[in-house]
Structure 1
């Protein structure tokens, strides 16, 4: 049965065209006689040759689906308005079929853009087939034009969404990591199969499991904000130095994450400590999420790191201010009272203390001004901080000119050593500031068996005030003599 008369052609659910390419074949023969061998290059040199071939194609017949697809009333309506159908630049798509036919291929396929007669854009998949017994002159070709507009639009939207997601990842101001946790899930699943139920106890017994899991993390990608956060010039440099970023402190955080994952919490957050490549600390808020499409194997997870270093510094400074005297950098009265309560409750004994009062601070402020007095207080703070460094002792400024050192675990011998060190530091400082030496009234005590802290402190305080009284008596005698 001739295709021109076939009922299958007319009833096909796909748009079909029967076309005559015999004039195109004759043009091919002319070009071959002229010595043309590479048709592709020849047509690309002058694209008008492509349109010349296109005009030589004769449209013989279309089926009902073609008229419906292109919104044509009948064959004549369609054939007289082909310029509307092919108003897109056809040179790029038509050249493909011409080259295929030139090379002796009996079929071709390519994507193209057509338009309905009312101007509606159609994305089509075009396929052509030279029908049997017409191979010698290309006088009958079957062309199908399948409407793939919805598919192409879906692809286009999917690509736009992908580009948007990539842009959000790349340009996010938050450090983002895409990682593969599938091997970790496998390890956890294996433990469950072995009958492990108390995972926290398991980690206590097998702490090396945390390290083993950490080694199974595969980093897939990071964004620019990550490179900026950790001071890495490139991803390659960051990945080579990843051991510097995730130092020992991170293992405890990762242990907590493993427990969260074991308990089914696939989205969680916590604070963590990382390090930049230059070794500087980075406090971060870590947010971990297993992507929805990967809940079964955890092969794609996102880790978001928000830099909270500045906030942590502010918190630490506020905490410091709450416990320290800004001028002397010693602990303040609030810390002193809290430490007393702690030592009272603690069974550690003995405890010793040293009370100190700066002699002549009021007179110094009155005669030379508060700047001079503040200078002496700063010197005092420096002396006491040197005295207690590398010890469990604490030094506090509890009043304008009053200071106290608490010495947990210090017996009378340790107390005397500390007093001797204090005198040596005072001597060195006073030699340097010989025009304004520091004079101290000092009282000290070590608690007796079963003696409350309060009683010991009273003894030291009274001792200091006796020294203070003697200082002013001596001063008065010197002035009156």
Structure 2
């Protein structure tokens, strides 16, 4: 009897210990009765339901019917504290405030696991405290041994993972925000991997190379190899639009069409900067769109923080400055050219004359020309006709000379040709060509006749070019007065 008494006392102590462990567990524990749910399942099976998920999708009201079959038998202290409940009755009478629409989908997942015969189930869902605070929870359910057929006893553990999930959502939001900034940036953004380039550069240092610029002068193939080793990780939407690419895969597959020709020179300078430790640098470079258009871009290159040791993550920002470059080129053109005739203007002519004075090559032959009767044409036929004659003069003189020779409009009806390294015989050949071009031009414009007077002079050793200009002017005026000259040009 003593032995039996001891056994009874031990069982009681064990039950007490279990109750204590349940009550004092540091996570929320629920003991529930799912027997009514089993009866509901059995009835549906008899009705021919095969897929519970499809059945509940077609009959959403049945989900509530399932929840109504579950009875809460017991919860521990942690549960009451977590859900801000005074007692089990207080919690049970307000379960509608705890389990809201947020958990509907995960509850269906739990039901389907039990329908398929599982004795354990898990889910991540949302509950609410009686005070209205949202709880992100990780739920694990276990059918207690001996109740597998009836589901009469199911133990649920609920872990509050709100802090973890809040941090995860914040991280996801931050990532989405950063992704949005990247994807919808108004400039072209590239994320690239330069780690293979870093390895190649480090190998050169290991080999004892000190002057990288000299090395790349001697071995330009090294620059080409480095360029081929760059791996494009990602580009944004503006990049696709800017480079006329339908998608990222197409752009990356045709990257050789984007970085070509003059880009090798610019990339070499980037490598020099990287060699010298400049992990952030800017420059203006030329790229090409996939449809062949030349793109002038302002490039900003940066090895991202944390990747300085291997250059495995690099961001490149490209701002399209093509319009600005065209405007600059046009302004530069206007600074050197006459808009009406498209020839060089007087300012360029003076600068070029001074340059030739200093550097040659000699001899320099100068041809001065004057458009005949421009004032009379303007007075009698109007400036539009006079402007047409000036444009025709520009066409003739532009065809008559090639670089390094130049043709310039230096006054209203005055023109000059500078022919460096051309002797008198060469100058006469140019004069004869102009005469032929004038005659040809007049065949296409019968309404008015183009006629020019011209004079030519060739420099002699020690002679200032100003004196050559005066001699050419003198010859031109002799021709204009109708005096015989070997440099006659008639229209």
Match of 1:450 in 2: 462
Distance in 2, matches of 1:375 and 1:88, equals 82
**Aligned: 1:159 with 2:172:** yes
Match of 1:428 in 2: 440
| Deviation per residue, 1:428-469 (Å, 9 max, x gap) | 234444664333332222221233323322332333333334
**Aligned: 1:200 with 2:221:** no
Give structure 2 stretches of 5+ with no counterpart.
Answer: 1-13, 485-491
CA deviation after TM superposition for structure 1 residue 170, in Å: 3.2
| Deviation per residue, 1:183-205 (Å, 9 max, x gap) | 22222222223232322222111
Distance in 1, matches of 2:400 and 2:415, equals 13
Distance in 2, matches of 1:3 and 1:45, equals 46
Assess, with a 3 A threshold, how the Cα gap between structure 1 residues 192 and 132 changes in structure 2: closer, same or farther. Answer: farther
Query: Which residue of the other structure, out of 86, 89, 100, is the alignment partner of 2:113?
Result: 100
TM-score norm. by structure 1 comes to 0.89
Match of 1:271 in 2: 284
Q: Is the 8 A contact 1:88 1:113 kept in 2?
A: no
CA deviation after TM superposition for structure 1 residue 356, in Å: 1.5
Query: Which residue of the other structure, out of 480, 483, 491, is the alignment partner of 1:468?
Result: 480
Distance in 2, matches of 1:160 and 1:113, equals 19
Query: Which residue of the other structure, out of 88, 92, 99, is the alignment partner of 1:86?
Result: 99
CA RMSD of aligned residues (A): 2.7
Match of 1:182 in 2: 195
Moved more, 452-461 or 140-149: 452-461
**Aligned: 1:72 with 2:85:** yes
Match of 1:414 in 2: 426
Distance in 1, matches of 2:19 and 2:63, equals 32
| Deviation per residue, 1:132-160 (Å, 9 max, x gap) | 45445433332111111222222222222
CA deviation after TM superposition for structure 1 residue 13, in Å: 2.2
Q: Is the 8 A contact 2:102 2:125 kept in 1?
A: no
Match of 1:478 in 2: none
Summarize the alignment of residues 351-362 of structure 1 with structure 2, pairs less than 5 Å apart.
Answer: 351-362=364-375
Partner-residue secondary structure (3-state), 1:286: strand
Give structure 1 stretches of 5+ with no counterpart.
Answer: 473-481
Moved more, 108-117 or 431-440: 431-440
Match of 1:475 in 2: none
Q: Is the 8 A contact 1:441 1:471 kept in 2?
A: no
Distance in 1, matches of 2:16 and 2:481, equals 127
Distance in 2, matches of 1:372 and 1:424, equals 22
Moved more, 439-448 or 113-122: 439-448
Distance in 2, matches of 1:265 and 1:318, equals 34
Assess, with a 3 A threshold, how the Cα gap between structure 1 residues 224 and 76 changes in structure 2: closer, same or farther. Answer: same
Assess, with a 3 A threshold, how the Cα gap between structure 1 residues 138 and 420 changes in structure 2: closer, same or farther. Answer: same
Moved more, 244-253 or 459-468: 459-468
Query: Which residue of the other structure, out of 406, 427, 439, is the alignment partner of 2:451?
Result: 439
Partner-residue secondary structure (3-state), 2:101: coil
| Deviation per residue, 1:318-349 (Å, 9 max, x gap) | 11111111111111110011111211221522
Distance in 2, matches of 1:263 and 1:73, equals 69
Runs of 4+ in structure 1 off by over 6 angstroms are: none
Match of 2:5 in 1: none
Partner-residue secondary structure (3-state), 1:68: helix
Assess, with a 3 A threshold, how the Cα gap between structure 1 residues 61 and 465 changes in structure 2: closer, same or farther. Answer: same
| Deviation per residue, 1:391-412 (Å, 9 max, x gap) | 3100111111211111111122
Q: Is the 8 A contact 1:4 1:61 kept in 2?
A: no
CA deviation after TM superposition for structure 1 residue 50, in Å: 3.5
Moved more, 7-16 or 310-319: 7-16
Assess, with a 3 A threshold, how the Cα gap between structure 1 residues 327 and 38 changes in structure 2: closer, same or farther. Answer: closer
Q: Is the 8 A contact 2:188 2:319 kept in 1?
A: yes
Match of 1:125 in 2: 138
Assess, with a 3 A threshold, how the Cα gap between structure 1 residues 94 and 279 changes in structure 2: closer, same or farther. Answer: closer
Query: Which residue of the other structure, out of 165, 183, 204, is the alignment partner of 1:191?
Result: 204
